[in-house]
Amino acid sequence: MLRVTYIEQVRRLIYGGQPSSEAEITVGLVNTWLPQAVGVAAKACYKDAIAIDGINYVNNSFYTTFKTLAITEDEQFLWKVTLPEIPIGIGTSEGISRLVLRDNESRQLSQPIVWLSQNQLTYFQNMRTIPNKVLGYSEGIYVYLKSELILQDYTAQATMISGGLSTDLNSILNVPADYFPIMTEYLRVQLTGERNTLKDVTNDGNDMVRTT
C-alpha cells in the first residue's frame, strides 16, 4: 500500500469519512506518527516470531534498503554514514541488518560490514583484524566504519527495518498486510486521543479548557 493511501485510510477512520478542510489530523501529522506505528508492528512481529517459531527475527517485509548514502570522514580511520532514520531498537542487529559499500565506478558491492556491539567497541582493537572486512557500529542515526581505506569515494547501502522513505508519500509502506491492523489500532488510539482532547478555544490568557 502506498504511504499516502494508508494515511488517507487512517484519516478517514479518525474522521468517519472524508476529512474537511479544517481537519487538524493532517497528512503531515499522520506521517510523523507512522515510524512509531511501524516500530510497534515490527516489535509485535519480533515477539510473534519468538512465540511461534522460537527464533528471534523480524519478517523480511519490514526491511528497506536505502542506497547512495554518503560517507564522510569523522576522525582518522573513522568514517560516518548518516541513515535516513534512527533504526528501531529491537534485537541486537534487527534494527539495521546489513550495510555494504558500493564502488560507484565499478558498481561493485563490498561484503557486508561486520557489526560491533557497544561492549565490543571497548576491546576490539586488541583483537586480531578480520581480513578484507570493514568493522562498524551504529549510534543513533549514524553508522561509524573503522577502516584505513579512503571510504568517502564510496557510497553505502543500508538494509534496515523501516516503513520506507517517509519524505516520499508516494512510496510503498513496507509493512506486511497482517501487521497493518496493529499499526492502525496504535494510530487510532493516538489520533483520536488528540481529536477528543478538550481544546482551549477562548483567548483569555488562561490555559484552561473548563471554567467553574
Partner 1 sequence: MTVNQVYEIMLYAAAKNLQQGYISPDDFNNKLMPMAQDGYCDYLLGEYQKFQLQRPIAPVQFGQTERIRQSLAPLIYNTVLPVNSTTGISPFPSDYEEVDNMWGQYGFYNIRFIQQPRLQSFYRSTIDPIQQNPVYLLRQEGFQFYPENIGYANLSYVRKPPPIHWGYTQVGDEPPVYDPTTSQDPVWSETDMMQIIVRALALIGVNLQFNVLLGYASDIKNTGQ
Task: List residues near partner 1 by CB under 8 A.
Answer: 21-22, 26, 28-29, 32, 203
Shortest approach of partner 1 to residue 18 CB, angstroms? Answer: 12
CB 33 within 8 A of CB 202: no
- Distance set, CA 30 to CA 5, 27, 67, 169 (Å): 12, 5, 25, 11
* Cβ nearer to partner 1, comparing 122 with 202: 202
* Cβ nearer to partner 1, comparing 44 with 86: 86
**Cα 177 from chain centroid (whole Å):** 18
Shortest approach of partner 1 to residue 10 CB, angstroms? Answer: 15
Strand partners, 114: 135
Shortest approach of partner 1 to residue 32 CB, angstroms? Answer: 5
* Cβ nearer to partner 1, comparing 73 with 194: 194
Shortest approach of partner 1 to residue 108 CB, angstroms? Answer: 40
* Cβ nearer to partner 1, comparing 32 with 60: 32
Rg (CA), the chain: 22
Sheet holding 154-161, edge to edge: 96-103, 154-161, 63-75, 78-82, 142-146, 135-139, 114-115
Shortest approach of partner 1 to residue 201 CB, angstroms? Answer: 8
Residue 181 burial (10 A CB sphere; 0-12, 13-18, 19+): exposed
Residue 37 burial (10 A CB sphere; 0-12, 13-18, 19+): buried
d(CA 101, CA 34): 29
Shortest approach of partner 1 to residue 47 CB, angstroms? Answer: 30
Cβ neighbours, 10 Å, residue 1: 13
* Cβ nearer to partner 1, comparing 130 with 141: 141
* Cβ nearer to partner 1, comparing 128 with 210: 210
